[in-house]
Amino acid sequence: MVIFDGDKRVFKLDTDNTSYVMGITEEGYLGNIYYGKKVDSTDLVYAMRTGEHPFTPSKVPGEKISFMDKFPMEYPFAGTGDFRSSCINIRDNAGQEGLELKYKSHNIYAEKRKIDGMPSARGDGSMSLDIVLSDEALGAEVTLVYTVYEECDIITRSVKVQNTSGKEFYITKALSACLNLETDVSDILSLHGSWARERHIQRSKIEYGSYVTESLRGEPGHQDHPFIAVLSGNCSENCGDVYAMNLIYSGNFIARVQKDQFDKVRMSIGIHPEHFTWKLESGQCFEMPEVIMQYSCKSTNGMTNNFHDFFRKYILPSKWVEAERPVLINNWEATYFDFNDDKLVQIAEEASKLGIDMLVMDDGWFGHRNADNSSLGDWYVNEEKLKGGLKKLVDRVNALGMKFGIWFEPEMISPDSDLYRSHPEWALALDGREPGLCRTQYVLDFSRHEVVDYIYGRLHDILESANIEYVKWDMNRPIAEAASLSLPADRQGEVMHRHVLALYELQERLVNDFPDLLLENCSGGGARFDAGMLYYSPQIWCSDNADPVERLMIQEGTHLIYPLSTTGTHVADSPNHVNGRITPFDTRADVALTGTFGYELDVTRIAEEERNLIPAQIEKYKKYRNLIQTGDYYRIASFRENGRYDSYMVVSKDKNKAVLVYVQVVTDSNVLNKKIKLCGLASDKKYIVDDMEYLGSTLMNVGYIMKPLRGDFQSVVVEINCAG
Ligand code: DGJ
């Protein structure tokens, strides 16, 4: 619900359990009054006051700058006295920077508008509020857009800037949202990592000054994640306060938590201002990516379930949310570049007998690519490898009763490619410098429309040429030297953002033209696993590391925000190709169970005993697939924290079914049975576990007895069913 109390000049946005409140001062500044548990009154202006009262510029004009530096500005602007971190800055055509935004008007409505050219959450009847702020002197109007998703306890926010000045100006900072909080929050939760080690959870203390998590890589990257949360100090998995922001954006971002001189905390997120300037002509509009914002008093498990419900209902392509995803086998770790049509068919033959649904042909099928140093951009089938062409191969795979999927890396160009030889100017490069290579490849200049159209044409033709039901869209290097020969000097700061817009345009065209295609995004593993990409692809390859122990930590961080059904999880070889760890085949499958499930190995070469386990693993996955895709996820114990074991469970929405996964990473000697306190069950329902009947409250408070497993890297999946 969205309420505007005209007498008090207060906006109140209510979800089922929370209230978000803003107020307009007598001068027209829009302040952030309150965010937290639901409150019933709009009589909250008092909470916006900054110390001595009345300390406002209209009463004490001599201290305007001191006011600006204290006031909890809803959308902080730079250059006019708020010295804390700002969200927006604009340089006018005389080179001056700074602005001052005041309330102009507002509008409450039910039909949410889609953000132009960018993914955003579907409205589906949720109430929205636009608050227009303006700077008359500059000639800028800034519209703050809020949509209230009541049942998920989520509010989305985005910002639109309109140039009303009659001249061009330059947006030099464009963050999407800010929150001003009291310091009853004391901790920060963020995700960090590296290649093969993505999205590990990090918890740190809020100190004076700023904590920043950011990316300048042209994508979120393996290293940081466009998410930030602050927590109350007592916050554990099930109790305590959490405020979280997740940005629906797949490029450079910054998320900041800043504790100021008055012990107040400001939290913000948006496009990174470094390598960003946007020239806005008079009359034009610039739209910023949307933020998913929430408060939960049920700690991180509460936050997670709000996010999961929200993603399933409003972000993921609706068609795929509950659809059964195919169990796939990908040939990357099976063959790398060393394959031909017969080898792929051999894998498919064996895989089809074992119950696998789809073969995905990974990197190396085009141009003359036999290593990672050539042919990107030459999206023509290598007929030396695939004799008789792609359709012939796909038909052979289909004849085995299997679907077929294919790999692309559309944003890249190899120096050793026909495309580069004919269009060297299509690669991003700083004028006069040799562009830097990474994985022996350059990045295409997607600010040029002819490049985007050309690449789309190639993808389109390949997909039309055979019965291809799945695409893995990869991106294997970060973007540097983001300069375009086709843009004028004052638009070079737009290249990074234009790349992201072109990426969205391409994926939009792809899913519109091929509505039945299953798109899986990927970026050297999970460097672009974000809300923006999930708008187009219901699943994303989570990491190049499928070692089940490492995956416990990667999946813990990923599932903190994103539904289990979005994570590409495969059973791979042992010793693991990345870290050499040797683990049991069934443990690898149990860890892959809470994802999209597939195989990343050569089924024709693995040991007979392992191959024989595959049908039962697939059967287990299919048994729980629907529950995992639609249920509530609860984290019970974290190997990252305790160094010994990991445990999580999924409970159906009606609380009649649940599945518990327990992985004993390090074995204990002479320990007593562990009591695992289950979560999310109905207290008063009776459940059958291991043929015994328990009350839900017993399982959640006294616990389920986990018998010790023998050996390291052991796992067990426990089924819990409501009795009768
Ligand atoms: C990185 C991906 O994460 C891998 O799965 C594989 O597709 C390679 N790229 C291929 O180059």
Q: Which tens digits make up the pLDDT trace of 409-462?
A: 999 999 999 999 999 999 999 999 999 999 999 999 999 999 999 999 999 999
Residue whose CB lies within 8 A of the most ligand 1 atoms, among 330, 332, 542, 551, for a mutation test: 332
Atom of ligand 1 nearest to the CA of 362: 7
For tokens 């002479």, the residue is 670
Q: Is the CB of 332 under 6 A from ligand 1?
A: yes
Do the bridges between strand 30-37 and strand 18-24 make them parallel or antiparallel, or are there none, so unpaired? antiparallel
Distance CA 215, CA 202 (A): 16
Q: Is 551 helix (H, G, I), strand (E, B) or coil?
A: helix
Backbone angles phi, psi at 614, to 5 degrees: -60, -45
Tens of pLDDT along 87-131?
999 999 999 999 999 999 999 999 899 999 999 999 999 999 999
Pocket test for ligand 1, best of 471, 474, 537 (most atoms within 8 A of CB): 474
**From atom 6 of ligand 1, which residue's Cα is the shortest distance away?**
332
Q: How far is the CA of 633 from the centre of ligand 1 (A)?
A: 28
Closest-lying ligand 1 atom to the alpha carbon of residue 407: 7
Residue 238: pLDDT over 90: no
Q: Which residues pair with 438 in a beta bridge?
A: 441
pLDDT above 90: residue 672: no
Confidence at residue 645, expressed as pLDDT on a 0 to 100 scale: 96
**Residue 336 Cα, ligand 1 centroid: separation in angstroms?**
9
Q: Which letter does DSSP use for residue 225 in this model?
A: -
- Residue 239 tokens read as 């109790």
Q: Is the pLDDT of residue 46 over 90?
A: no
Given the CA of residue 522, which atom of ligand 1 is nearest to it?
3
Which helix H or strand E contains 332, and what residues bound it?
helix 332-335
Residue 433 pLDDT: 93
Question: Residue 220 in contact with residue 197, Cβ under 8 Å?
Answer: no
pLDDT at 701 over 80: yes
The ligand 1 atom nearest the CA atom of 544: 3
| Whether the Cβ atoms of residue 201 and residue 300 lie closer than 8 Å to each other | no
Give me the mean pLDDT over the 35-61 stretch: 85
- CB of 474 closer than 6 angstroms to any ligand 1 atom: yes
- Amino acid type, 655: K
CA-closest residue to ligand 1 atom 11: 363
pLDDT digits (tens, 9 = 90+) for 545-565: 999 999 999 999 999 999 999
* Confidence check: pLDDT of 237 > 80: no
How does residue 597 score in pLDDT terms, banded at 50, 70 and 90?
Answer: very high
Which residues have a Cβ under 8 Å from the Cβ of 629 and sit 6 or more positions away?
321, 322, 563, 564, 565
* Contact status, residue 649 vs residue 658, Cβ threshold 8 Å: yes
Determine the average pLDDT of the residues in 561-584.
Answer: 98
Average pLDDT (145-170) is 98
Measured in Å, residue 376 CA sits from the centre of ligand 1 at 13
Dihedral Cα 339, 343, 349, 355, nearest 10 deg: -30
Q: What are phi and psi of 101, to 5 degrees?
A: -105, 130
Query: Which of 360, 407, 520, when mutated, tests ligand 1's pocket best, judged by the most ligand atoms within 8 Å of its CB?
Result: 407
Q: Is 135 in the pocket of ligand 1 (CB under 6 A)?
A: no
Side-chain-side CA neighbours of 326 within 13 Å: the count stands at: 23
Q: Among 74-78, 547-551, 704-708, which stretch is predicted with the lowest mean pLDDT?
A: 704-708
CA of residue 476 to ligand 1 center, whole Å: 7
Q: Distance, CA 309 to ligand 1 centroid (Å)?
A: 30
Amino acid (1-letter code) at residue 363: D
Please give the distance, rounded to the nearest whole angstrom, from the Cα atom of residue 525 to the centre of ligand 1: 6
User: Is the shortest distance between the CB of 524 and ligand 1 below 6 Å?
Assistant: yes
Question: From atom 9 of ligand 1, which residue's Cα is the shortest distance away?
Answer: 524
For ligand 1, atom 1, name the residue with the nearest CA: 524
Is there an atom of ligand 1 within 6 Å of 476 CB? yes
**Residue 388: predicted pLDDT:** 97
Residue 183 in this model has a pLDDT that exceeds 90: no
Which residues are catalytically annotated?
474, 544
Q: Is 375 in the pocket of ligand 1 (CB under 6 A)?
A: no
| CA 612 to ligand 1 centroid distance, Å | 27
CB 13 within 8 A of CB 106: no
**Would you place residue 707 in the very low, low, confident or very high pLDDT band (cuts 50, 70, 90)?**
confident
Kindly state if the Cβ of 362 falls inside 6 Å of ligand 1: yes
What is the pLDDT confidence band of residue 182, given thresholds at 50, 70 and 90?
confident
Segment 19-34 shows an average pLDDT of 96
526 Cα: distance to centroid of ligand 1 (angstroms): 10
What's the pLDDT band for 52 if we cut at 50, 70, 90?
Answer: low
How wide is the angle at C-alpha 53 spanned by C-alphas 47 and 56, nearest 5°?
A: 90
Q: Which atom of ligand 1 is nearest to the CA of 526?
A: 3
**681 and 654 Cβ atoms separated by less than 8 Å:** no
Taking only the tens place, the pLDDT of each residue in 368-425 is 999 999 999 999 999 999 999 999 999 999 999 999 999 999 999 999 999 999 999 9
Pick from 195, 330, 363 the residue to mutate for probing ligand 1's pocket: most ligand atoms within 8 Å of its CB.
363
Query: Is 289 close to ligand 1, i.e. is its CB under 6 Å away?
Result: no
Atom of ligand 1 nearest to the CA of 472: 7
Instruction: Indicate if the pLDDT at residue 240 is higher than 70.
Output: yes
What pLDDT is stored for residue 53 in this prediction?
64
Confidence (pLDDT) at 708: 82
Ligand 1 lined by 441 (C-beta under 6 Å): no
Cα(342)–Cα(676) distance, rounded to whole angstroms?
49
- In short, whether 522's Cβ falls inside 6 Å of ligand 1 is yes
Q: For 538-545, what is the mean pLDDT? A: 98
Dist. CA 474 → ligand 1 center (Å): 7
pLDDT at 3 over 80: yes
Ligand 1 atom closest to Cα of 372? 11
CA distance 37 to 20: 9
Per-residue confidence band for 13, with pLDDT thresholds at 50, 70 and 90: very high
* Residue 47 pLDDT: 86
- Residue-averaged pLDDT of the chain: 96
| Residue 54 confidence (pLDDT) above 70 | no
Task: Output the CA 90–ligand 1 centroid distance in Å.
Answer: 40
Backbone angles phi, psi at 639, to 5 degrees: -60, -35
